[in-house]
Amino acid sequence: MANSYRHSPFMGICSHSDKPGKVKASRKLRHRVRQSLATCNDFDGYVAPLLREVSNVWDFPKDGKMRIKATWSDYRKYMRK
């Protein structure tokens, strides 16, 4: 099997993925929705909580992306998937 390489020279800062943060935020949101539905008496005026009310994007593990420069000594290592 051939080695696979990135097509675009970008990588995440501080973490590879935001997936753990998104999973945690989704669980919090589903929990809050279940709680609000259980305590709701009038469903005509029901407003479901929003994801932004439950979680904060700034608490996620990844802090954005940066460009991998070809002048770095480990350029080939970073371009591997």
More confident of the two residues 29 and 6:
29
More confident of the two residues 22 and 71:
22
Specify the pLDDT at position 69. 86
**Per-chain mean pLDDT for the chain:** 88
Its pTM stands at 0.71
Per-residue pLDDT tens over the stretch 31-64: 999 999 999 988 888 999 999 999 998 888 988 8
- Distance from C-alpha of 37 to C-alpha of 40, rounded to nearest angstrom: 5
| DSSP bridge partners of 65 | 12
Specify the pLDDT at position 1. 56
User: Alpha carbon of 29 to those of 3, 65, 79: distances in Å?
Assistant: 39, 26, 36
